Structure 1
């Protein structure tokens, strides 16, 4: 619980709020303290001015201590402070405090010294005698532009610090309330933030246990929302891949089981029943056909496996595909003649280059033409053409065979899919040829589709491979 994201986020909110409130309180307390002290200084300084003017008239002649003390006492009662009046030698001539006053003594203070130099003296200090903070202000007394004494005022700052104390307590209460509020907001926001993460964690755990149907709701468009969306996409793809893998294993097992069953029956028959030489040869021929069928199936499965290592092991090169296409077609002419099928092609002398793995392009041509020969009856035709348009190199394989109904055209490139399973097995097909072609074309960045011929007889497979832009082709040639 302590190490959870929710706890860490909530603690972060609380710590941040605490730091903000402490800094704000310190700044506000300092600002208010300075404001109140400056205001008090201005108040005391203004109050000292009329005292200075009146005292100046008394100090022109021999000062009367009683009169000056009465003057100090009268103003002290008005401003609630202690007022002392000194001469230019810092000797106290009047004190608002009658009992225990300082009349006749010398008051040596920095504030008075500053006033005697024509400036206002000012200080704030803690009084050990009264156990409180006090402010002392001294202003000069002029007589005919000569400084003849000073007015020294001492006033308590207890009220100011009492107000500041009250403000500090209010700030402390506000800090506590802010921390509680921050904790509540933090818990709410942390729950809102971590709820989808917890949902993702739970769904991931369920997927780890084998439940690939897990999905999480996408409630936002932020980073977590995008993460949830990508998780759902990943789960969907994983579920689909698992489904395809299971179907692939089931289909492969089924395809392997059929020839194995036939082989088992043939071998047992040869062991258990006496056979004539002619029958034995017929059985051996059937065994040979089933073995050839298994070999083709295994080779097709290996071809699909090799495609997964295209980027790692096969070298993609810039090449003209004309020689590869022509050599493959010439190799298949013998098979076409054996079935009494006319195989012809229209291929230019050269085409613009494409990035390709040549042995895989050869497999594309071989599988498409081989399929066309298999499903075209004797006397039919298979025509292959290669041409280029501004952006694509287009390979077309057209036949006059049995054709492919429209509802099956999107599925013919799936693994082990057959339009007519009985006829496909009879023709020796494994159900993997077109899926291998589709995988190769997709890995080359191309397109493949099937359509009817213009006359409606047979099928036409069209493969489109992207041409290399002229600038990129020229750059590749220069590098070579």
Structure 2
């Protein structure tokens, strides 16, 4: 029944509100009842004093008794009450007065409370009791019992003044009904208000749940509508940011799959064509060596591509453990550069090396940093025009070393710069010539550098080549740098 957040919140809010309304209703009704009863008791006490004075001043006087009797009957009629007088002197006897037009007091008119009268006379105290005639009549009553004392303090009897509380109880009951009705109306209004508010609070969460389901079906364009700036609204904003990233990632993934499929299909198709041509005799035996060389080159390129994919997957999954050691970054750059000597000479590229010191010792994983330098140099050679210049530079700071690799190629468009290091970014947009790579080399570079806790940046002024710069932690025993520059062809 309460399997949704909306129903649980609604039930909780309504329960709390209903409890508060019920408590307030009971308190208000109780206060009204106590106030009403207190006023009734006060009025009853005042009237009892008046009746006692009438009895002492007039009723006990034989000459004034008829007048006193008429006044007492009038008082009883006024309050629709029953007045009973119990005297100590048998000459006065027991007297009962009430409105003869009313029949409700007849069953108890001659029922004198002898024991109570004796207690009142002996104790000379006043008390108020409720429903003293329970069992004789079905009328709720409030009775005041007080001694009849003369001016000298002599108690001559007891007076009982019984009033009908039916009207009072009806008024109190009406108050309870009004409170109950108000509570019911309040609950209905509260239900509508809480339903509306709870619905607005939970709607973004419900929308997010529905959007997640759409995401599971491959619909990445859905977004949550933000209608507030509270925690739920902030959650919706964060969800939309995540959705944007997922959408971008999914787009990149599809683009990457398409590119990789193309990169794999093209050489496989070419290799298959050459092999089938050799098989059916289209290619003569004397040319086998030429075409087998092409097949071998294609397999090497595909192997390099698969290795890059495995490296990226291993780095992103956190399986790569850094083996930090102190080594000379300048020496590593020179050793790596030598592996590209044949390509550099073939492209007639000049190499310019500008090192702050002959030896610059850094603390890092030398194998991974060698992969970073190798990828950046390989990328720069691809984009350097024939007769261009490849620049390698190291700058020593207080705590780190800045390593720069710069080419004189056409550069990267400004709109593509923010995405250069994105994984699965299209090869032609990742500073990689179309058809020569999968465009994940720079992603590997960025993740290796970040794994070391360092940064890498790219600058590409229009028509002025591209420069990649990354930082490495300077080893503590690094000596004071001495300028060192070299240029080779």
- Partners of 2:112 and 2:266 in 1: CA distance: 129
- Tell me the equivalent position of 1:417: 427
| Long gaps (5+) in structure 1 | 470-480
The structure 1 residue matched to 2:257, chosen from 214, 239, 249, is 249
- Tell me the equivalent position of 1:472: none
- Partners of 1:98 and 1:460 in 2: CA distance: 115
Cα distance change of structure 1 residues 397 and 137 upon mapping to structure 2, 3 Å threshold: same
- Tell me the equivalent position of 1:446: 455
Compute the displacement of 1:123 (Å). Answer: 1.1
Compute the displacement of 1:254 (Å). Answer: 1.2
- Asked if the contact 1:212/1:238 (under 8 Å) is kept, the reply is yes
Matched ranges for 1:348-363 at <5 A: 348=357, 349=359, 358-363=366-371
Cα distance change of structure 1 residues 221 and 422 upon mapping to structure 2, 3 Å threshold: closer
How many equivalent pairs are there?
457
- Tell me the equivalent position of 2:126: 120
Alignment of 1:73 with 2:73, yes or no, is yes
- Tell me the equivalent position of 1:473: none
Compute the displacement of 1:252 (Å). Answer: 0.8
Matched ranges for 1:166-205 at <5 A: 166-205=174-213
- Partners of 1:421 and 1:65 in 2: CA distance: 126
- Tell me the equivalent position of 1:384: 392
Compute the displacement of 1:448 (Å). Answer: 1.6
- Partners of 1:250 and 1:217 in 2: CA distance: 33
- Partners of 1:107 and 1:467 in 2: CA distance: 112
CA offsets 1:422-468 (integer angstroms, 9 cap, x no match):
9676xx65543223223333554523213359xx8654221246889
Cα distance change of structure 1 residues 331 and 43 upon mapping to structure 2, 3 Å threshold: same
SS in 2 for 1:215: coil
SS in 2 for 1:108: helix
Compute the displacement of 1:334 (Å). Answer: 4.5
- Tell me the equivalent position of 2:22: 22
Cα distance change of structure 1 residues 293 and 35 upon mapping to structure 2, 3 Å threshold: same
CA offsets 1:85-139 (integer angstroms, 9 cap, x no match):
34468995543259979799772217x6357434321111263333111111123
- Partners of 2:207 and 2:113 in 1: CA distance: 84
- Asked if the contact 1:85/1:151 (under 8 Å) is kept, the reply is yes
- Tell me the equivalent position of 1:96: 97
SS in 2 for 1:371: helix
- Partners of 1:115 and 1:359 in 2: CA distance: 115
Cα distance change of structure 1 residues 57 and 276 upon mapping to structure 2, 3 Å threshold: closer
- Tell me the equivalent position of 1:315: 321
Compute the displacement of 1:66 (Å). Answer: 7.1
- Asked if the contact 2:421/2:430 (under 8 Å) is kept, the reply is no
Cα distance change of structure 1 residues 10 and 108 upon mapping to structure 2, 3 Å threshold: same
Alignment of 1:164 with 2:165, yes or no, is no
CA offsets 1:226-268 (integer angstroms, 9 cap, x no match):
3333332232222211111111111111112222233223323
| Long gaps (5+) in structure 2 | 101-105, 477-489
- Tell me the equivalent position of 1:333: 338
- Asked if the contact 1:403/1:457 (under 8 Å) is kept, the reply is yes
Task: Answer 1 or 2: higher relative contact order, Cα 8 Å, separation at least 6.
Answer: 2
Cα distance change of structure 1 residues 60 and 331 upon mapping to structure 2, 3 Å threshold: same
Compute the displacement of 1:147 (Å). Answer: 3.7
- Partners of 2:39 and 2:3 in 1: CA distance: 52
Matched ranges for 1:270-289 at <5 A: 270-271=278-279, 272-273=281-282, 275=284, 277=286, 279-289=287-297
The TM-score with structure 2 as length reference comes to 0.77
Most deviating of 202-211 and 285-294: 202-211
- Asked if the contact 1:92/1:107 (under 8 Å) is kept, the reply is no
Compute the displacement of 1:54 (Å). Answer: 4.1
Q: Please provide the CA RMSD for this pair.
A: 4.2
Cα distance change of structure 1 residues 98 and 267 upon mapping to structure 2, 3 Å threshold: closer
